[in-house]
Each structure stands twice: as structure tokens, then as C-alpha cells.
Amino acid sequence: MRLQLKYSLRTTTSDEMGREITLVSQGLDAMQRLGVNVEISRDAHVDVGAVIWNGTCIREGASVSAGTSIGRNAYLGPGVKIGKNCKIQNGALIYEPTTIGDGVFIGPSAIFTNDQYPRAILPDGTPKTEADWRKVGVTVNEGASVGAGAICVAPLILGRWCMIAAGSVVTNDVPPFALVAGVPARQIGWVGKYGAKLTETAEGFFVCPESGESYELTQEGLKPIHE
Ligand SMILES: CC(C)(COP(=O)(O)OP(=O)(O)OC[C@H]1O[C@@H](n2cnc3c(N)ncnc32)[C@H](O)[C@@H]1OP(=O)(O)O)[C@@H](O)C(=O)NCCC(=O)NCCS
């Protein structure tokens, strides 16, 4: 069920721990749990079952799907799409036109840029307007994780279930299941769905030490053998 937020329908109450929360409803059966001081455009969409904490700003046309939690002081630019069951941590800055798939983890203070060659003004000194620049975005696929403070420099595609180390500056596409780190980010290994580094058991064959799941490196990239 999709809920279009209406400021006029907000009421403030407290949760089971006594913290003040804001409930937003459209109709009597659609209730959404939000922090106080959340700034959500009336044209944003937040599914029932998402949790948005204090200080977060969600701009017009952005959408947040069910089961997703967004921490404090995060920013979603106009039209940014966030999938189901994501965890977006405090202070993440996600500029449009980034798209985040289902089950994605975004660490605290991670940044997704949208202007490859930024300038505030035109050569004649006048401020640039929306028409004066071409926005580029990051596509983050299912299950991917972006570590704390990482900067994803658009345009980029982060493959499904990849992992970006804390503090990385990502300037190239990241293959599915790849573990990348550093400035600029380079691949330092592979990670499985469980989130552990994979161990190579034979050339092109890997196993997850935590789950025992097997992976194979094929021409299309790394894949779980049983999926
Ligand atoms: C990348 C990561 C998964 C690697 O963990 P690990 O396998 O235990 O790594 P190790 O400590 O064994 O380090 C392996 C190598 O990678 C380097 N490395 C580890 N983390 C790194 C990082 N964030 N950036 C750059 N290099 C890193 C280590 O220095 C080491 O290099 P060396 O072999 O030359 O000494 C982990 O360091 C990381 O960044 N996790 C994300 C944490 C995070 O942001 N969480 C968000 C919620 S708070």
C-alpha cells in the first residue's frame, strides 16, 4: 500500500519508550511512523512500514518503500527512489537521480554525488540554474552495502550484493559481489550475500566461510552456484 503524505493529517504522540513521534495518516488504516522534525515534501511517497528518523529531508518526487529505515539527518533529493527493506544510516546524502534497490545498506555519512564537473556559476558570473547542468546518478542494485563515509561519484552502477569499504571514493562501476576499498576504490576481494569475504577453493570457485554457500566466477561475473 502506498501512502502519499499529507501534512494536514499529521498528529504528534509518543512511542512505547516515551519518545515523541509523528504519525501521518491517509485514511484511518494507513499509519506511518516518523521522527519529529522530519521534512517531507507533500509530493514524496513513503510506503506504510517505513521508518524515518529526525532531521531527515525527503524532497518532492522521492519515494521510500516498505520495511526501509532512514536514520537522522539524511537527505533524499528530488525523485530519489529507495527500495524495500533498506537501511540508510544517519547523515547519508543521496542526490538525484540516484536509485537504490531492495535490501541496500547505506552507511553513515555516505554521499552520492550528481554533478560530475560542478560549478556554482556560469563564465559570466551568474548563478547556474537547473537548466545549466546535466545531473548524473548512481544505480545501487539489490543487497549492496556502502560503508561509512564512502563517496560514490556518479555516474556509477553498484552491482548487486557488492560491498564498498568505509571511506572509499568510488569512481568506477562495481561488479556484483565485489569488495572494493580505497581512494580511488579498487577491488580487494569478493563478498557473499551473508556479508563475509569469500575464500577461493579452486580457480574460479569460492565459498562463504559463514554460510557455506558456493559461488562461481563466470563470464557474466560472480554468481551463487545455487540461486
Ligand atoms: C572493507 C572491510 C569490509 C574489510 O574488512 P576486513 O576483511 O576485516 O579487512 P582487514 O582488516 O583484514 O583488511 C584487509 C586489507 O584491506 C584494508 N582495508 C580495510 N578496510 C579498508 C578501508 N575501509 N579502506 C581502505 N582499505 C581498507 C586493510 O588495511 C588491509 O590492507 P593490507 O592487507 O594492505 O593491510 C572493512 O574494513 C570495512 O570498511 N567495513 C565497512 C564498515 C562500515 O562502514 N560499516 C558501516 C556501518 S558503521
Same domain for 48 and 91, yes or no, is yes
CA distances for 224 relative to 69, 196, 197, angstroms? 28, 14, 14
Q: What is the pLDDT of residues 29-79, one digit of tens each?
A: 333 556 667 788 878 888 877 888 888 899 999 999 989 999 999 999 999
Same domain for 201 and 111, yes or no, is no
Task: Say what percent of the chain tops pLDDT 90.
Answer: 72
Report the atom number in ligand 1 closest to the C-alpha of 168: 24
Q: Which three cell numbers stand for residue 132?
A: 545549466
Task: Out of 105, 177, 188, give the residue to mutate to test ligand 1, the one with the largest number of ligand atoms within 8 Å of its CB.
Answer: 188
Task: Summarize the confidence of residues 2-25 as an average pLDDT.
Answer: 46
Distance 152 CA to ligand 1 centre (A): 17
Query: Is 2 among the domain residues?
Result: no
Same domain for 119 and 153, yes or no, is yes
Range of the domain at 200: 192-227
Q: Which three cell numbers stand for residue 92?
A: 547519508
Task: Say what percent of the chain tops pLDDT 70.
Answer: 84
Q: What is the pLDDT of residues 67-95, one digit of tens each?
A: 999 999 999 999 999 999 999 999 999 99
Count of structural domains, the chain: 2
Q: What is the pLDDT of residue 54?
A: 81
Q: Which residues line ligand 1 (CB under 6 A)?
A: 107-108, 147-148, 165-167, 181-182, 188, 197
Distance 88 CA to ligand 1 centre (A): 20
Q: Which of 24-33, 135-144, 218-227 has the lowest mean pLDDT?
A: 24-33
Q: Within 10 Å of residue 40's Cβ, how many Cβ atoms?
A: 24
Q: Are 90 and 75 in contact (CB under 8 A)?
A: no
Helix (H, G, I), strand (E, B) or coil at 14: strand
Query: Is 78 among the domain residues?
Result: yes
Confidence check: pLDDT of 199 > 50: yes
Q: What is the pLDDT of residues 167-185, one digit of tens each?
A: 999 999 999 999 999 999 9
Same domain for 214 and 159, yes or no, is no
For ligand 1, atom 27, which residue shows the shortest CA distance?
181
Query: CATH code at 15?
Result: 2.160.10.10
DSSP 126: P
Which residues are within 8 A (CB) of 227 and not within 5 positions of it... i.e. 6 or more apart? none
User: In terms of C-beta distances under 8 Å and separation of at least 24 residues, what long-range contacts does 163-168 make, across chains too?
Assistant: 163/191, 163/195, 166/107
Q: Within 10 Å of residue 6's Cβ, how many Cβ atoms?
A: 11
Distance 116 CA to ligand 1 centre (A): 27
Same domain for 173 and 88, yes or no, is yes
Query: Is 3 among the domain residues?
Result: no
Helix (DSSP H) and strand (DSSP E) numbers for the chain: 0, 28
Bridge partners for 14 per DSSP: 20
